[in-house]
Structures are given as structure tokens and as C-alpha cells.
A and B are shown apart, each in its own frame.
Chain A
């Protein structure tokens, strides 16, 4: 029974058989449902990836620990990295983009709803394929084996001779499949933003979230294919006797690194630019001021997009490139820090002169600002190639990128969760629990990742299942592991808050935050068709114009 054409009456809705409702979700092409599925899928993998991290940290709490074997540890860091990047961060960003973009640009759905569904299921299948390796990774004859080659799978460790069995192939195929899904979603996002905006919403009037997802999608289109290409080459090497990365036949191990990082570096911007988008929507609302410097924010984002393709070999400073190459990648990496820094200044400029409300979404965005500042600065340190010769492949790098991914991206994501949860579910979350989540997680995050810089500075490499005592690393590893449990407590509070509020939270209005973008003009949750009539806008803050007809934005923009 299809219920796609009229708004659903909640009372009737909850009496429909569960089979029908599940069927709706499985066959849906509605961007809102698909967005929520992406987000829930990512949350499940967030917990799984977190467990993998916890296992590693317990193994490393003291030197020469025997909590897990080296083989298991190596599988853990490979799966943790692969899961978090490809099956947590990317799906969750796609999920939010899917949910929010049509609502924010005044459209009824994404440009290609069926492509949307296909992309989601491909991405989901990729994750399941990767995790099947725990059962089937060594082929018919062995027991299971997850990939243990690291999330960037350097050659020739991934060759048949060094990676026996099929664990590497699960890595390759799982990511290949979900990569195709990602390209589908990216094309969908570009087409939606360029072709589906409501009348009056020129590119200069659309929300920054739309701009940033546009740049993110462009990056995905150009960056995922190099990874796909490299994975095809790897599979040809492993199964058809090709020699792309076969050093015995004259092949090059370094060319895998180049191909991987040409994907890998823009990929991290794919993850962080949507986080910028969240901050750019949330900070203005909770400072009660429009974003400071909208055109500069757009220009900076586009600049970051372009420059991000010129920095990849800063992951390869220790590979033995000549001094000219190392110098080039040093300066390009430093340059990408300039537009990034400009954005931080613009966010501060937004808060300046405002009236800051410390609700949970804003707390997380403030955390994002502090932590992204530090992450960017440690990035500048790593950009200095000689410093990277010491710090590269050490726990300093691990600390740096977790500062970006957890400290900046995940914090902004939590902010986005709390900000849009009322819209998506129709209920308000519990503010007290939200603050508990924030403080527990903040303490845990800093315990773990602040102190993680130190063993890196003292010579501790990454990807080691144990370490020698007496090198000055012991106490720091202990503190790092303790922090994990605070973070887990925060996540537990978060999940409880979401579940409880979803079921029992107070019903909320369409615009609980007194915000200004189009999604807040729909009911919470929005009807299937989003808008009864397509809106027409005249400024960047259409709802401000309506609420303040005597002083609309379009007079000043």
C-alpha cells in the first residue's frame, strides 16, 4: 500500500502493520527516508568502529600487553580506519545532504530519486561485504580474516604473495562497490543544487550548506575515481597477473601511494567541508546574526576544493622524493591552510556582536571551532616537510587526523544532530542529556587526543600492536586509553537521548530555533512532498524576511 502522495496522519501511521512500514522504507526513493537510513547505517558502524578502537587502546594501555594477538590488532586498525572513513563519515554526510538539501533549496526531492536509492543500497552493501571478511576472508580453506593491510593498503604488502587469502580482496571490493554508490550520490547532489533550486534562489542566495555540499560532491566525483582505478589495478595484479605494483617486475610501490593519496587527500576535505556547512548554519542561528562574509566563505570553500588536489604528496614526504617535490608539496599544503583559516575568522566574526545562546548544538560547534583551530595548526606543523620526517607515520599524525575527524567533524556532526533532530523526528531532545553528552565527550576527547601528540613527538610509530617500555611512552598510552571510556560514556548518553526523545520527547513546532532557512518553514517532520507550493525567495534568509517584513535581508545583501 503506497502512501506517497498525502501527508501521513501519525495516529493512522502507527497502526499500519510493521511489514508494510518496513516495505516503505526498503523501497523508498524519498530523500528524507534515505537520508535517515544513511545516518542510522553510519551510527551503527560508528559503534562498531568505536569497539575496534577500544580493543586497540586496551592492547596498548601498557607495553607488551597480551590482550589481542598481533594479527588481530593489525586487522583492528585496518578495519577501524576503513569503517570510520567509508562507512561512517561518508554515509553520514551523504545522509545529511540528502535530507537537508531539497528542503533548504525549496525542492520536493533530489534530482534523481531512484539513483538516490540505488546509491544508498550500493553503499550499504559495500559495508556488509567488507565485514563479511571476518567470516570469509581467508577463502574456503581458512577461517575468517578481515583485511590487515592498513586502511591505505600500501603496495606491495597487498600483493598475493604478502597478503594470502582474500582479506585484501574484501577491502578492495567493498570499497569499490560503495565508491560507485558515492559517485551516484555526488552526481545527484550536484544536479540537485544546480537544477532544483526554487525561484529566486540564485547561487548567491542559497544556504552555505548547499554551496559546501556542491563543492564536496565535486570533490567526490573527481577523487573517488582514482581510488577505484587503483583498486582495479590491484585486483588485476592479484588475479590476472598484472604488474602495476609488482616491484619484482619493475612495477612501482610509490605509484600506488600517489594514486591512493590523490584520492585520499581530497577525501578528507569531502569529510570536513560538510562539517563546515553545519557550523555555517548553526553558528549564525545561535549568535542571532547572519553569517559574516558569505561571499568570502563561498570563495574560500571553492579555493579549498581546488587546492586540495595539489597537496596529496604531503603524505609521502618520507618516501624519498627530491627536494623540489618536497618543497612544492610543503608550500601547497601551507597554502590550503589560508582559506581554511579565513573560515575560522569568519565564524568568529559571526559570533562577534551577537547574542550567543549556549544550547547543545552551539556547544558542539564551539568545540568544533577550538578543535579545528588546533587541528589546522598541527597540520601546518606536518606541512613542514622536515618536521614531518620526524612526525610522519607516528602517533603525532594519528593525533592530528583524529583531532580533525573527531574533534572537528564529529563535534560538528553532533551539533547537526541536535539542531536538526527536532525537524527530522518532530520531537525535541532533552537539553540536559545533551549537555552531559557534550561534557563527557569533550573530556574524553581531550584526554585521548591531546596527550596522543606526545608519544608521537617522542618517537612512537603508528600501527604497532605493542611497544617497548622505557622509551617514555608508557604513561601517555595509559592516559589515552582512559579517555576512551569517557568518550564511550558520552556516546551512550547521546544514543539514549536520541532514542528516548524520539519516543517520548515533547512534540515540537516547525521552527524551534527561530531560524531563517527554508527547512524551518515546513512541519516537523516535513510531509512527504516537503512544500505545498514551491516557495519563492528574495534573500539568503527567507524566513527572516517573513518574520521581519519591516527590515528584510534583501534590502542589504
Chain B
């Protein structure tokens, strides 16, 4: 991802870098077609990697991966042994067709055998526990180095608020962190809060999940060593739209992160061309929930929109950030995310167009 504003066009891959004339027509048609499809099914954007915990890119996920493999091997061995005993006994001791009808000799028990199969499992448990306790301590009690990026994550129904207090940034739903070089780590330490009910932050390739619980502060950390986009979603049932409280974590290069942070810390810059849209925004109920820094809008209930256009998705990942989707979201949120807390804004078509035009300038 580069520092300049991305205009992710639907259906266009990263390799498309020369917008020739014919390509523009083709792309336009593609965009129109895909916008229609998008408004129906809001397909997943290209490039983010599937959330597979067995391909960790960050130390906590790494450590979990290693202990998981250890546990899987031990349990697989136990399974193999017991399974074979079971199958063997079923085959060897089945009643044969030429059975003589006599009862087999009754065996009531055996103290030695019972001792053996009590002591051995206890030993296995001990080994497993010691290995586990090490990982628990190493992940939970990791000290925070001075170079760490600090983020405060606040869970809402049904979106994520991210604040970087040291950098003066407030954003939503898409978390940007710098890649961490194992030799000189720059991890990101995230403090977890909730504004309403329980949520859980889960991006499997980066770390195990940690819950966001109201009136409680939790902590987690990640130190991803590979650039890329990592997806996850809320993992604690929080209400109707729990399923679409999606997470995207952008691991940027140090330079990309620096540029992104610089941009995000700026207040909104809007030109005169969209003053009508800005007027509509600031005089309707929008500002009750949303904040745009540098303007009168300072609502805290919904996502901060100052740099809305720097995000690839809207509605916490439920739809791609395109003008059509934005329009649909404001006009009829139930069509994208039924049960979300965004109200249908009842704007006239003219006002709606104006607002969209304004929002499109919030880069």
C-alpha cells in the first residue's frame, strides 16, 4: 500500500497501473456492474489473507501456534493408542458365529493396570501444563518496550473505534500498525475498552483473541513482521449485527505508517465545491453521532469520519467504500447491515448527493 490515497477500483488488481483510455471505459463498465453486485452482496475485497492461525505473523500468534502443535501431537498420539486398543478389542473379542454359548471368565479389575493408566495421564498433564504455563506468562506478562505504538480500541455495537493518543489520531474499523523488525521490535500495544456490551478482538494471524468488556480494561499486543492486510472479526456475541463487526489490520512499512499517521492527524480539508454537502451534514442529525475534526461535528456515538476516504470499507467491513455503497448506507442502512444502529437519514436525493460529494472529499 502506498502513501498516496488509494482509489480501490472494483475488479482491478494491484497490477493495473496504467489507466489507458480503453481501460477506463472497461473499468467503468466493470465498476458499474460490480457496484450493482456489491449492493447486493458486498463482496470481499481482494488481497487480505485468510485468517488462518497456523500461519502466524506476529509473536503472540507464533507462540500460540507452537504450543498448539505440541498439544496436537500429544493428543494425536493418545488418540492413536486408544483408538487401536478399541478397534483391537472390538475385532478380537467379538462373539464368533461358532460360539459355544458359555460366558467368558469374569474379570473384576486389576490394581496394577488401574495404577498404570492413572499415573501415565497425570505425567502427560504435568508436561503439558508446564509447557502451557510458559506461553501464558510470556504472552500475558510481556513488558511494553518504549518504542511500542499505543492504541486504545473501544468496541461499539457494531464497529471499532481506534485511538492513538500519542499521535493524536482517532479512526475506526481499520487498524494501521507499523511492521515490527524482530531485531528492533516496534510492537503495537492495544488497550481494550467497550462502550456498550462485550466484544472480542480476534485477528488469528496476529494474536489470540482478547475480549472488550465495559467497565474493564484489557490489554493485548502484536508485533507483525510481515507487511499485509490481516482480517478478523468480533468474536463475542454483541447483538444483532455481531456477524458484520469485521476487522482489518493493515501492517504497513515504517514509512507508509508514518505517512498514514501524519495524514490522519490532520483535520479535515474540504473545498468550497462541497460546501452545500457540508452544510447539510452539519445541520442534520449527522453531527449527533459523528465527528469530523476541524468542524463543528463532534459526535462520539458513531465512527469518526475525518478521514473516511482513507478506509477501504464502510460499516465495519460490511461493504466496500464506494460512493454507491455510501449512498445506500446513508439512505437505507438496513439494506447493508440490518439491525445496525445507523438510522436511515431520510435525506432528499439532492441533499444525499451533496453529502456524498462532501464525504468523498474527506481523505
Contact = CB atoms under 8 A, between A and B. Distances in A.
A430 interface: no
B254 interface: no
Contacts of B219: 320
B361 to A, nearest CB: 29
Contact of B246 (A292, A373, A468, A472): A468
A268 interface: no
Interface residues of B, number: 92
Contacts of B204: 390, 458-459
Contacts of B210: 318, 320, 389
Contact of B75 (A154, A330, A381): A381
Quick one: which of A252, A295, A341 has the most chain B CB within 10 A?
A341
A498 B231 CA distance: 50
Interface string A366-391: 10011001100110110011111110
Nearest to A161: B196
Given A288-B104, A356-B95, A386-B67, A463 B140 contact: no
Nearest to B85: A348
Contacts of B105: 353
A331 B128 CA distance: 9
Given A320-B210, A370-B86, A386-B139, A292 B104 contact: no
Interface stretch (B170-178, B232-240, B347-355): B232-240
A330 B140 CA distance: 14
A334 B236 contact: no
B208 A318 contact: yes
Given A150-B237, A331-B129, A341-B117, A386 B232 contact: no
A394 interface: yes
Given A389-B210, A458-B52, A464 B242 contact: yes
B103 A288 contact: yes
Interface string A335-351: 10110011011101101
A386 B94 contact: no
A254 B86 CA distance: 42
Given A69-B338, A318-B211, A392-B209, A386 B235 contact: no
Contacts of B50: 458-459, 470-472
Interface stretch (B9-17, B27-35, B118-126, B325-333): B118-126
A337 B125 contact: yes
Interface stretch (B107-115, B146-154, B301-309): B107-115
Interface string A160-179: 00100000000000000000
B82 interface: yes
B239 A374 contact: no
Report, nearest first, the 4 A-B pairs whose CB atoms are least far apart.
A389-B208, A459-B51, A464-B243, A320-B218
Interface of A: 64, 69-71, 74, 148, 150, 154, 156-157, 162, 247-248, 250-254, 287-290, 292-296, 318-320, 322-323, 326-327, 330-331, 334-335, 337-338, 341-342, 344-346, 348-349, 351-358, 366, 369-370, 373-374, 377-378, 380-381, 384-390, 392-394, 457-459, 461-472, 548, 553, 556-557
